[in-house]
Amino acid sequence: MSRCLGLLVSLTLAGAGLATSEAQEQQMLSRKSLQQLKQTILASGHRCTFSNMYNHNPCLRAGGLDLYLIPDRGPDGHPQWNLNADPAKGDFHQLLVVPLDAERSRAQVSFFDDNDLQFEPPDDPAAPALVAEALRAVLGGGPLGRPTGLP
């Protein structure tokens, strides 16, 4: 039954003018898959600093992309509450994706809510595509490594 429903959804999306790759991208972009990505990054044990505000963040390099987890705000909403990005102190529901190719812009996604993924920049259609690329690179079983830092 669910296979038929999935086929129906795919056909409906394709019939609505979405290319197959766009339909697959939309299916891949879920809080569940981002949680899996988060767990893979945390399990890697790699730590990197990508800005003065965020030090020692969980990070991973995959498929020509550097991925950084951003710690959640503290109890009072302070963004620097968990300066050393300690998983024992707080959680991570934001992902920064930085392409190694300088021609492409970085993207960020917040995945606090099951039904609401928020992308930055918000009006850039490349942002969800870049996050989907990161998901494919990590969850698809490609080679993983530690980022060497941002230029």
Euclidean distance between CA atoms 69 and 80, whole angstroms: 14
Q: Write the pLDDT tens digit of every residue in 62-82.
A: 989 999 999 998 887 777 778
Q: How far apart are CA 8 and CA 42, in angstroms?
A: 36
Q: How far apart are CA 41 and CA 58, in angstroms?
A: 6
Q: Taking a C-beta distance cutoff of 8 angstroms, is the pair 39, 138 a contact?
A: no
DSSP string, 22-53: HHHHHHH-SHHHHHHHHHHHHHH--EE--SSS
DSSP 8-state secondary structure symbol assigned to residue 3 = H
- 84-110 pLDDT tens trace: 888 888 899 999 999 998 788 999 999
Domain ranges of the chain: 30-145
Percent of the chain with pLDDT over 70: 76
CA neighbor of 139 nearest in space, from 26, 65, 36: 36
- Tell whether omega for the bond before 121 is within 30 degrees of 0, i.e. cis: yes
pLDDT of residue 49: 85
**pLDDT for the residue numbered 13:** 33
pLDDT of 143 reads 66
Beta bridge partners of 119: 109
Tell me which amino acid residue 21 is. Answer: S
Instruction: Name the DSSP letter for residue 149.
Output: -
The pLDDT of residue 148: 62
Give the residues across from 65 on adjacent strands. 62, 99
